């Protein structure tokens, strides 16, 4: 089962709590059930009091307030229970026919309005460094940014988080890509306090998170760090030792899609817990296939749809705090081909 590690607010306290992926929503449900039980009990008590008052010969004027209060509390507990039992938005898994760049572009265009292209231009090109779109129905802002994570135009050091990828070892000496670009800004004590490299297991899908605290005078670029050992298709392979490149026949694409969606949802859940409004992340999974492979476009489409699906689910949840998401890559604009198909018309 995927794990989440949480670091306490003080960096000196390095104890970690192992949490299940969706601990908070379920804990909230348990607490709410206790409240419902108390309200229902109170309602029954009032009803019983009213009935006893009538049966003992008391006037209806004395018994009616008790009966009315009992009915109100019972109705209130029923309404809360109905709302609580409303099922979570299910993950909508795409079919093979939907795994196309054009299909992703259509979904993107139908959901998000284009607001800004930088450098300023009427069209998206290889020279584009920043694209800003927004969902007019929910107000969520989504950005695609090419460049160093620190130079993200909307990155702020308050109520924000940066998601970085690591591996099972969590060794800061062997990081790559965006994590390598930021490792100089993350003090080793902070890294170790959050990731606990010598502690428990950290399998694919596991997450460690905590406040980004530097003891030096340098202010951290964001308030929180989220480290993830990203889920890979390698753990889903039917045959563990392949003598060729991986294809869709070697793994369950629906399971791979769900794993990616779940990874993003865990990040969003952390943001909700800590009232984080801005999140910078990277597109997970795209490096699991080589760009020269015939099915690479299908795989990229699946990875892109996983992010969009996770955002869709998060937008429908109560208590959402994330208002802005940046998808970052250092050397290329994330989803360039898809963005061109969506907005260069």
What whole-number distance in Å separates Cα of residue 329 and Cα of residue 337? 14
pLDDT digits (tens, 9 = 90+) for 96-115: 899 999 999 999 999 999 99
Beta bridge partner(s), residue 324 = 141, 278
pLDDT digits (tens, 9 = 90+) for 199-234: 778 899 999 999 999 888 788 999 999 999 999 998
User: Do 316 and 181 share a structural domain?
Assistant: yes
User: Do 61 and 95 share a structural domain?
Assistant: no
Percent of the chain with pLDDT over 70: 83
Helix (H) or strand (E) holding 42: helix 23-55
Looking at residue 272, its pLDDT comes to: 94
Q: What is the CATH number of the domain that holds 165?
A: 3.40.220.10
Residue where a domain terminates, one of 84, 106, 123: 84
pLDDT digits (tens, 9 = 90+) for 259-274: 999 999 999 999 999 9
Whether residue 7 lies inside any domain: the answer is no
Residue 31 phi, psi dihedral angles, 5° rounding:
-65, -40
What whole-number distance in Å separates Cα of residue 270 and Cα of residue 249? 34
146-175 as b/e, with b when 16 or more CB fall inside 10 Å?
A: bbebeebeebeeebbbbbbbbeeebebeeb
Whether residue 2 lies inside any domain: the answer is no
For 114, half-sphere exposure in the C-beta direction (CA atoms, 13 angstrom radius) is 20
Mean pLDDT over 171-176 rounds to 83
Whether residue 6 lies inside any domain: the answer is no
- At 25, the pLDDT band (50, 70, 90 cuts) reads very low
Helix (H) or strand (E) holding 17: strand 16-19
User: Do 160 and 33 share a structural domain?
Assistant: no
User: Do 180 and 32 share a structural domain?
Assistant: no
Assess whether pLDDT exceeds 70 at residue 3. no
User: Do 181 and 47 share a structural domain?
Assistant: no
User: Do 33 and 119 share a structural domain?
Assistant: no
User: Do 173 and 288 share a structural domain?
Assistant: yes
Assess whether pLDDT exceeds 50 at residue 10. no
The model's pTM is: 0.77
User: Do 201 and 62 share a structural domain?
Assistant: no
For residue 43, the 8-state DSSP code is H
- At 157, the pLDDT band (50, 70, 90 cuts) reads confident
Whether residue 14 lies inside any domain: the answer is no
User: Do 121 and 77 share a structural domain?
Assistant: no
Looking at residue 2, its pLDDT comes to: 46
Residue where a domain terminates, one of 36, 56, 84: 84
User: Do 206 and 127 share a structural domain?
Assistant: yes
- Structural domain containing residue 180: 90-343
Looking at residue 83, its pLDDT comes to: 60
Assess whether pLDDT exceeds 50 at residue 11. no
C-alpha 180: how far from its chain's center? Answer: 22
Mean pLDDT, rounded, of the chain: 85
Tokens 């009538």, located at residue? 54
Tokens representing 70?
């009992």
Residue where a domain terminates, one of 35, 60, 84: 84
User: Do 258 and 339 share a structural domain?
Assistant: yes
Whether residue 247 lies inside any domain: the answer is yes
The number of distinct structural domains making up the chain is: 2
């Amino acid at each position: 089962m995927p794990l989440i590690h949480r670091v306490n607010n003080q960096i000196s306290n390095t104890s970690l709590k192992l949490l299940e992926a969706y601990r908070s929503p379920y804990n909230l449900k348990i607490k709410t059930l206790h409240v419902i039980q108390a309200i229902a009990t109170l309602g029954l008590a009032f009803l019983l009091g009213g009935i006893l008052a009538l049966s003992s010969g008391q006037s209806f004027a004395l018994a009616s307030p008790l009966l009315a209060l009992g009915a109100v509390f019972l109705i209130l507990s029923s309404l809360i229970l109905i709302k609580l039992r409303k099922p979570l938005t299910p993950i909508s898994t795409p079919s093979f026919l939907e795994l196309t760049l054009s299909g992703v572009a259509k979904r993107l265009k139908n959901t998000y309005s284009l607001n800004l292209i930088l450098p300023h231009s009427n069209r998206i090109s290889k020279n584009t460094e920043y694209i800003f779109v927004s969902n007019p129905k929910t107000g969520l802002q989504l950005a695609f940014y090419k460049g160093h994570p620190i130079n993200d135009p909307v990155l702020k050091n308050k109520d924000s988080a940066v998601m970085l990828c690591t591996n099972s070892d969590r060794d800061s000496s062997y990081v790559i890509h965006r994590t390598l670009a930021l490792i100089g800004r993350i003090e080793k004590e902070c890294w170790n306090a959050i990731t606990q490299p010598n502690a428990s297991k950290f399998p694919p899908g596991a997450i460690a998170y905590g406040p980004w605290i530097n003891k030096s005078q340098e202010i951290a670029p964001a308030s929180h760090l989220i480290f993830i050992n990203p889920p890979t298709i390698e753990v889903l392979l039917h045959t563990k030792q392949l003598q060729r490149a991986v294809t869709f026949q070697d793994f369950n694409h629906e399971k791979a899609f769900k794993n990616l969606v779940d990874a993003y949802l865990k990040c969003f859940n952390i943001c909700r817990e800590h009232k984080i409004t801005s999140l910078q992340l990277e597109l997970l999974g795209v490096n699991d296939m080589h760009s020269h492979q015939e099915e690479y476009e299908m795989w990229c489409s699946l990875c892109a749809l996983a992010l969009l699906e996770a955002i869709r689910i998060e937008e429908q949840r109560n208590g959402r705090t994330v208002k802005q998401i940046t998808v970052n890559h250092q050397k290329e604009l994330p989803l360039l081909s898809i963005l061109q198909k969506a907005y260069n018309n």
